């Protein structure tokens, strides 16, 4: 692997920006402050920000590559390859594909979950981003418990989330537009979908015990757990008692405050920040950040959002950019238990991005280095040649 010298950028070191150079040696950051490189590749980072790569705990935009229109499927390997290019181009160097395994057939079925897991495991080494499997388990999907338990025991799940959309689903049956969207992704007729919902909902008394068993399996496997859309402090307490220490998209401030008081990680969607509010009308993420009630931002359904959100928070005066960047790099890495990334430090994984911040609110990614490899470059004019004898950078012809 060729060493890479990043020259004279404004690097985020801790909570301040320092003009310096970084030497990437193999997969890791070698030294900071070095102007010497053994390799033949260097990048002129003058007037650019050098930032840790984005760690995205929850992204399901890949579903649009799998099914761009209702009932129109594309192969999983094609979808993953395209999603990888999108993630990298938006500065995401570690991506957790949030894969929903529901009681539904179709897009969020067990068959698709198996295909995605197998594809991530087989294609992972060929993808530019460090691609991981985040399983979103619909808690009413009781028949899947045995297989999910086996996946946990075999350490095949990188993040494990508990989802419960049953009340919302039942309520949506009386709303034609929402009902039609759900029906379309399953491939069922409307009547068959209604019967399925009724049959699954009737097993509600079995759900709590199933959650307890699966949480125990996840704890035994050392798998980090999330609870999705907690709607009350009591629900957050219940999940925390089961070892679920990441609150994902709490739907009101009281629940977020309960999570914060206990030191839980609190995840909100970066699109919420970029758009100025939740598309569902729930919690405003920027307000939660301002109140200290959010520790992580995730791409959710839009890969460009984390990058844009950090700069939006800085422009709005909610957080300095250095602190805003922690929400999409160091904090999610910590939440996921990934101690080797999320900040620029010698010995850490060389995941970093070079950003042109000249235009307010529209940061432009110039280069992305993922795992020590140059994965994305938009300005070849910034490539320079390093002389092996003088170690001085000279422009290439």
User: Under CATH, what is the fold of the domain 54-164+199-335?
Assistant: TIM Barrel (3.20.20)
Of 29-38, 56-65, 368-377, 383-392, highest mean pLDDT = 368-377
Domain layout of the chain by residue ranges: 4-52+343-395, 54-164+199-335
pLDDT category of residue 226 using cuts at 50, 70 and 90: very high
Q: Provide the pLDDT for residue 35.
A: 64
Q: Provide the pLDDT for residue 214.
A: 98
Mean pLDDT of 74-87: 94
> Quick one: which H or E segment has residue 269?
strand 265-269
Burial (Cβ within 10 Å: 0-12, 13-18, ≥19) of residue 205: exposed
- In the chain, the percentage of residues whose pLDDT exceeds 70 is 94
Q: How far apart are CA 204 and CA 387, in angstroms?
A: 68
User: Under CATH, what is the fold of the domain 4-52+343-395?
Assistant: Urease, subunit C; domain 1 (2.30.40)
* Residue whose structure tokens are 């049959």: 199
Mean pLDDT of 232-258: 97
- Quick check: 390 pLDDT over 50? no
SS3 content of the chain, % helix, strand, coil (to 5): 40, 25, 35
Mean pLDDT of 201-216: 97
- Quick check: 260 pLDDT over 70? yes
pLDDT category of residue 389 using cuts at 50, 70 and 90: very low
pLDDT category of residue 37 using cuts at 50, 70 and 90: low
Q: Provide the pLDDT for residue 316.
A: 96
Mean pLDDT of 178-197: 88
Q: How far apart are CA 222 and CA 17, in angstroms?
A: 35
Contact 270, 324 (CB under 8 A): no
CA angle 61, 197, 200 (to 5 degrees): 100
Burial (Cβ within 10 Å: 0-12, 13-18, ≥19) of residue 142: middle
């Amino acid at each position: 692997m060729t060493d890479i010298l990043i020259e004279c950028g404004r690097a985020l070191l801790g909570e301040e920006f320092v003009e310096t150079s970084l030497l990437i040696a193999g997969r890791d950051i070698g030294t900071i402050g070095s102007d010497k490189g053994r390799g033949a590749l260097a990048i002129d980072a003058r007037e650019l920000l050098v930032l840790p790569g984005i760690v995205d705990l929850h992204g399901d935009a890949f579903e649009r590559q799998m099914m761009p229109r209702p009932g129109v499927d594309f192969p999983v390997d094609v979808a993953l390859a395209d999603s990888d290019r999108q993630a990298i181009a938006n500065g995401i160097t570690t991506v957790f594909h949030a894969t929903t395994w529901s009681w539904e057939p179709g897009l969020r079925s067990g068959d698709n979950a198996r295909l995605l897991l197998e594809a991530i495991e087989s294609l992972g080494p060929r993808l530019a981003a460090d691609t991981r499997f985040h399983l979103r388990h619909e808690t009413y999907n009781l028949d899947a418990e045995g297989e999910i338990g086996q996946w946990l025991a075999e350490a095949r799940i990188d993040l494990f989330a508990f989802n419960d959309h049953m009340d919302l689903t039942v309520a949506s049956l009386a709303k034609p537009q929402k009902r039609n969207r759900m029906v379309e992704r399953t491939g069922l007729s409307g009547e068959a979908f209604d019967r399925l919902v009724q049959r699954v909902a009737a097993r509600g008394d079995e759900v709590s015990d199933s959650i307890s068993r699966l949480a125990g399996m996840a704890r035994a496997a050392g798998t980090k757990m999330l609870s999705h859309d907690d709607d009350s402090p009591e629900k957050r307490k219940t999940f925390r008692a089961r070892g679920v220490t990441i609150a994902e998209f709490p739907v009101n401030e009281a629940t977020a405050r309960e999570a914060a008081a206990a030191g839980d990680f609190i995840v909100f969607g970066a699109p919420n920040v970029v758009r100025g509010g939740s598309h569902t009308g729930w919690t405003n993420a920027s307000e939660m950040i301002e109140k200290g009630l959010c520790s992580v931002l995730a791409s959710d359904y839009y890969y460009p959002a984390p990058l844009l959100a950090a700069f939006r928070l800085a422009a709005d005066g909610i957080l300095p950019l250095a602190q805003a960047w922690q929400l999409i790099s160091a904090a999610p890495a910590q939440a996921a238990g990934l101690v080797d990334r999320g900040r620029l430090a010698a010995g850490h994984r060389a995941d970093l991005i070079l950003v042109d911040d000249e235009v307010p609110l529209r940061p432009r990614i110039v280069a992305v280095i993922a795992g020590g490899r140059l994965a994305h470059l938009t300005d070849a004019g910034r490539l320079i040649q390093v002389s092996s004898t003088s170690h001085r950078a000279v422009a290439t012809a």
